[in-house]
Amino acid sequence: MTNKNLIDLEAMSVEQVGKLVKKARKIMQSPADYRHACDGKILATLFYEPSTRTQMSFQTAMLKLGGRTIGFDNPMNSSVAKGENLKDTVSVISGYADIIAMRHPVEGTAMAASLYSSVPVINCGDGGHLHPTQTLTDIVTLSCEKNRLDHLKIGVCGDLLNGRTVHSLIKALSKYEGNSFVLISTPELSVPLYITDILEKRGCKYEISHSLADAVHDLDVLYMTRIQRERFKSAEEYEAQKNVFVLDREKLDRARADMIIMHPLPRVNEITVDIDDDPRALYFKQAQYGMYGRMALILLLLQDEDFLLSERPTELCAQRCNNPKCVTQYEAYLPNRSYKKLGMQMCDFCDKRID
């Protein structure tokens, strides 16, 4: 089965990612050719969680394509404040807009929204789960700056446990030949097992490191991430983790001259500002590449009938997902949708095992 919703980048084939990158690069070369490509179309941005880049780059992308935007960036200014559920909000807005981009702090919310939307839904981040358009941003950046998506040694550093950008990126890049990863984090914030399972299944080499200074010397790409205060249960736990990994001039001096530094942003303290002028620091340019990637995505979802994303087979199960961060815990009407993985029943919304 196929659809037009981008919930998880796993639904997009390597060929489709290649098509999107090619289109993004064409838009960059001649933006004027696309000035009226989405005349008359409306993008709704439903942001239940703060955002600078994702929300504004989607809005700018649609405006640059000739379309218009509606939406909210604070659900308390919408009828969500009166208790409206997700199903009703999405059912109504999909009658106003041609495409919906949404962010929500709860895992699986974009997937849930797609069940009730008559127009494509794009996941712009669902809790600590996934952030597929950040990964498209990263892929466009790598393609433009490294001229390849394969045979790269990528160091990912920071909160690898809760970092949805990192999970999406590792999953996506592990599909390309010869890529290897250095996973740099504290033991408490190491990548979830399902991510290393994917790496092993795909025959992708990886190392685990607890030292940025040791790991940085032979990387093609260093992908820094923020320690996310909002994902911790207590201030004490956050305080113990913040500032453990900081890329400063001394560590950067150990890196190769052609290594690039990426960061999904926002940055807190994990890259010192004196590095911003180093030619290897690409994080601000990366945010701009993201806008072109999102322009390409909007065009492909709205105008290319053949650009369909794969949908995994699901079934209804008797048991409800018991992940406290899953949307099924908040939206009571949702069905108990699941899929099978290695004989286990997995929640179709948050991808956690149902047991």
Query: Where on the chain is the footprint of ligand CP (CB under 6 A)?
Result: 51-54, 125, 134, 264-266
Residue 156 to residue 85: CA distance in whole angstroms = 37
Q: How far is the CB of 51 from ligand CP (least distance, A)?
A: 3
Please identify, using beta-carbon distances, which residue of 37 and 56 lies nearer to ligand CP. Answer: 56
Q: How far is the CB of 288 from ligand CP (least distance, A)?
A: 12
Q: How far is the CB of 53 from ligand CP (least distance, A)?
A: 4
Residue 349 to residue 7: CA distance in whole angstroms = 10
Locate the DSSP E strands across 48-178: 68-72, 99-104, 121-126, 153-157
Q: How far is the CB of 232 from ligand CP (least distance, A)?
A: 17
Q: How far is the CB of 154 from ligand CP (least distance, A)?
A: 17
Please identify, using beta-carbon distances, which residue of 54 and 143 lies nearer to ligand CP. Answer: 54
3-state secondary structure at position 271: strand
- The residues near 158 (Cβ < 8 Å, ≥ 6 apart) are 166, 184, 185, 189, 224, 225, 226, 227, 245, 270
Please identify, using beta-carbon distances, which residue of 95 and 266 lies nearer to ligand CP. Answer: 266
Residue 323 to residue 328: CA distance in whole angstroms = 9
Q: Note whether 1 and 313 are within 8 A (CB).
A: yes
Please identify, using beta-carbon distances, which residue of 204 and 261 lies nearer to ligand CP. Answer: 261
Environment class of 14 (CB within 10 Å of its CB; exposed 0-12, middle 13-18, buried 19+): exposed
Buried b (16+ CB within 10 A) or exposed e, 53-85: bbbebbbbbbebbebebebbbebeebebeeeeb
Q: How far is the CB of 228 from ligand CP (least distance, A)?
A: 10
Please identify, using beta-carbon distances, which residue of 226 and 352 lies nearer to ligand CP. Answer: 226
Please identify, using beta-carbon distances, which residue of 16 and 54 lies nearer to ligand CP. Answer: 54
